[in-house]
């Protein structure tokens, strides 16, 4: 019963004025057809009429409107079998009316034919003349064109005003209106704070904002003011929009939701007009919440890269938003929530206190939060309960956002269904992680024996170097089965660090160069297979030198601009001489780690060969395989998740 009570009432069909117009037209047509089809005389033609005339069956002919002849038979003729049908129709529908009727051509010729037959056959026929008018038909022919024109005009005007015509031209009369979707007590929003796992700090602040609007007296009695707005900032997929949906579901106040791009239009002044209309609607329903997703579409810093007024319209929209949020005549009962992953490009005037009083940072989830997110996304899945350990899965997915975890759960369900299973198990989740991180396996890809050998030694080089280094990430799995765009892959489980030291970064770079170093040691040749490794180490080395100030030659300097405005500068923030030093130091760091990787592999050449041969044989190896060859890892840390026992070859 409770379930039935919560179900939204079925939508009633909308009444349209077009039904009235259609009914009127159908009535006119029906009356016209009825009057012409029923109660009328039987149809005949001129030849048959002349035969009736020669036989003496015709008593009278009435010419109507000089086009139609109505034929009246004699009483003797009506008794004939050939006229029985006409006599029956006349009796049922129009007693006393004509028996036949037909259309003829020229009236003069018709009269001459009658006179000629009368003379030749010695018959006497009365010919009369009448004028008749079709009342309903005339009205219909008069009003129908007018009704059609009015109907077309109403249709066009409605399409133009509602924007159903699509594009800018379809909204000509409604173009300055806000496109915000309204969620209130009448709207069934199923998302609540229970559906938002992790993000405890962000949830607390957002809940507080909802409480401001529900119980404003609690805060205003102490002299406090309700905040004007809150900005949700964080990487993509961390749950910013989900938090806003939860606010819409929890708040018992009107909630206006729209995207930053909804303000953008090809016409001048539309964005500012929509901002005004949005806040007007919110003030009418205050207290209310406005949520603007991807606010960086209109909130970018003004005056940057503005060539020949190209961004004037966007700036006008931003100016209007600034005025509405904190200007004369603003209503304090409207709170603005906004979300962006590009807070660095937003205008400083928008970010100041009094507009966005709070910045809520929604970061990537840690292990504990990932566990909670897994629990939320596992609810709808049919799963093997004893196999799915959310804590284990949380440890297997470092750096994953909430959206990534949702994707993992969905992918696991698809993999289980593909294998014909009745429930989702642990191995399905591990396969899903592998697929998302590494890509789809391509076992049918054609690889020559030489290429396969080179790939095996490349991946074995990564595994060997990372195994021998203290700060390199622990190995989980190595494969030479092509996945996605890569010909081989190695899975590591990196530590979740809040700060990174130089020796940790150098060890990671050395492990990344292990693949190319192995090719050099074993074949004295290098290949293009190290592209992704080179990209990774180059970025790390550049960050060490130019961002984090971890290089002795460059010193404690950083060329990082947290405001995000450096992208608009045409000049580098350092001199050409400094640029040469930076390039030299970056190259020096990478080459040093490359030589270091070669030395490690030279010392363990026999074990490297053994590992590569095992890879060529099994195609997939795990942590326990390395332990058999190298022994226990020299720098093994307690507390890290053990994965070898649960990962297996597909």
User: Do the beta carbons of residue 529 and residue 489 sit within 8 Å?
Assistant: no
459 is catalytic: yes
> CB within 8 A of 119, min separation 6: which ones?
none
Task: Give the CA distances from residue 131 to residues 31, 64, 110, 112, 126, in Å, rounded to whole numbers and listed in that order.
Answer: 21, 6, 17, 21, 17
Q: Which residue in 124, 122, 106, 19 sits closest to 63, CA to CA?
A: 106
Task: Give the CA distances from residue 474 to residues 408, 468, 481, in Å, rounded to whole numbers and listed in that order.
Answer: 22, 10, 21
The two tokens of residue 90 are 């006349």
User: Do the beta carbons of residue 274 and residue 321 sit within 8 Å?
Assistant: no
Q: Which position among 315, 324, 369, 459 bears the catalytic label?
A: 459
d(CA 299, CA 315): 8
What single-letter DSSP state applies at residue 303? Answer: T
Residue 230 CA neighbour count, 13 Å, CB half: 23
What single-letter DSSP state applies at residue 495? Answer: -
User: Do the beta carbons of residue 621 and residue 478 sit within 8 Å?
Assistant: yes
User: Do the beta carbons of residue 502 and residue 593 sit within 8 Å?
Assistant: no
> CB within 8 A of 640, min separation 6: which ones?
474, 493
Element at 337 (helix H, strand E): strand 334-340
d(CA 113, CA 164): 64
> CB within 8 A of 360, min separation 6: which ones?
201, 202, 205, 206, 230, 231, 232, 233
Backbone angles phi, psi at 153, to 5 degrees: -65, -45
* Residue with token string 């159903």: 164
Give the residue numbers annotated as catalytic, written as ranges. 459
């Amino acid at each position: 019963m409770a379930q039935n009570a919560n179900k939204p009432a079925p939508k009633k069909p909308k009444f349209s004025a077009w039904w009235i117009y259609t009914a009127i037209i159908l009535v006119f047509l029906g009356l016209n057809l009825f009057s012409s089809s029923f109660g009328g005389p039987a149809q005949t033609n001129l030849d048959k009429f002349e035969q009736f005339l020669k036989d003496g069956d015709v008593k009278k002919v009435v010419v109507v409107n000089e086009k139609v002849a109505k034929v009246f038979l004699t009483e003797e003729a009506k008794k004939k079998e050939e006229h029985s049908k006409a006599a029956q129709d006349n009796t049922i529908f129009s007693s006393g009316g004509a028996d036949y009727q037909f259309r003829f051509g020229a009236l003069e010729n018709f009269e001459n034919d009658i006179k000629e037959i009368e003379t030749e056959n010695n018959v006497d026929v009365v010919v009369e003349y009448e004028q008749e008018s079709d009342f309903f038909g005339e009205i219909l022919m008069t009003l129908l064109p007018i009704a059609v024109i009015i109907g077309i005009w109403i249709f066009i005007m409605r399409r133009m005003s509602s924007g159903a015509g699509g594009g800018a031209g379809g909204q000509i009369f409604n173009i300055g209106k806000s496109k915000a979707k309204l969620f209130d007590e009448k709207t069934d929003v199923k998302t609540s704070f229970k559906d938002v796992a992790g993000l405890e700090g962000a949830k607390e602040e957002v809940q507080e904002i909802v409480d401001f609007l529900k119980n404003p007296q609690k805060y205003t009695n102490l002299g406090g003011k309700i905040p004007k707005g809150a900005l949700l900032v964080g990487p993509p997929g961390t749950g910013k929009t989900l938090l806003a949906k939860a606010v819409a579901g929890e708040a018992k106040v009107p909630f206006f939701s729209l995207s930053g791009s909804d303000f953008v239009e090809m016409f001048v002044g539309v964005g500012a007009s929509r901002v005004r209309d949005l806040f007007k609607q919110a003030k009418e329903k205050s207290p209310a919440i406005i949520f603007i997703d991807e606010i960086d579409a209109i909130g970018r810093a003004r005056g940057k890269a503005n060539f020949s007024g190209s961004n004037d319209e966007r700036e006008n929209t931003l100016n209007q938003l600034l005025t509405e949020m904190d200007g004369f005549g603003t209503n304090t009962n409207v709170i603005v929530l906004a979300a962006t992953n590009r807070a660095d490009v937003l205008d400083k005037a928008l970010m100041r206190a009094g507009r966005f009083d709070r910045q809520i940072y929604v970061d990537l989830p840690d292990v504990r939060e990932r566990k909670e997110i897994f629990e939320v996304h596992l609810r709808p899945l049919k799963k093997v309960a004893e196999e799915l350990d959310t804590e284990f899965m949380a440890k297997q997915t470092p750096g994953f956002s909430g959206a990534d975890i949702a994707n993992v759960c969905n992918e696991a369900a698809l993999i289980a269904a593909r294998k014909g299973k009745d429930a989702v198990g642990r191995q399905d989740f591990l396969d899903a992680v592998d697929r998302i991180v590494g890509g789809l396996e391509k076992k049918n890809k054609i690889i020559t024996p030489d290429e396969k050998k080179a790939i095996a030694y490349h991946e074995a080089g990564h595994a060997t170097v990372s195994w021998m280094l203290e700060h390199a990430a622990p190995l989980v799995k190595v494969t030479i089965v092509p996945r996605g765009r890569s010909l081989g892959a190695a899975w590591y489980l990196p530590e979740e660090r809040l700060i990174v030291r130089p020796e940790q970064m150098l060890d990671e770079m050395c492990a990344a160069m292990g693949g190319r170093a192995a090719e050099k040691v074993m074949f004295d040749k290098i290949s293009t297979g190290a592209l992704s490794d080179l990209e990774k180490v180059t970025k790390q080395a550049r960050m060490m030198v130019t961002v984090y100030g971890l290089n002795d030659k460059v010193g404690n300097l950083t060329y990082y601009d947290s405001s995000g405005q450096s992208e608009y500068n045409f000049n580098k923030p350092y001199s050409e001489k400094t640029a040469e030093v930076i390039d030299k130091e970056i190259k020096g760091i990478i080459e040093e780690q490359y030589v270091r990787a070669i030395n490690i592999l030279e010392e363990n050449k026999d074990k490297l060969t053994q590992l590569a041969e095992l890879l060529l044989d099994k195609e997939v190896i795990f942590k326990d395989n390395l332990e058999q060859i190298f022994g226990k890892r020299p720098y093994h840390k307690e507390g890290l998740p053990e994965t070898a026992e649960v990962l297996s070859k597909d």
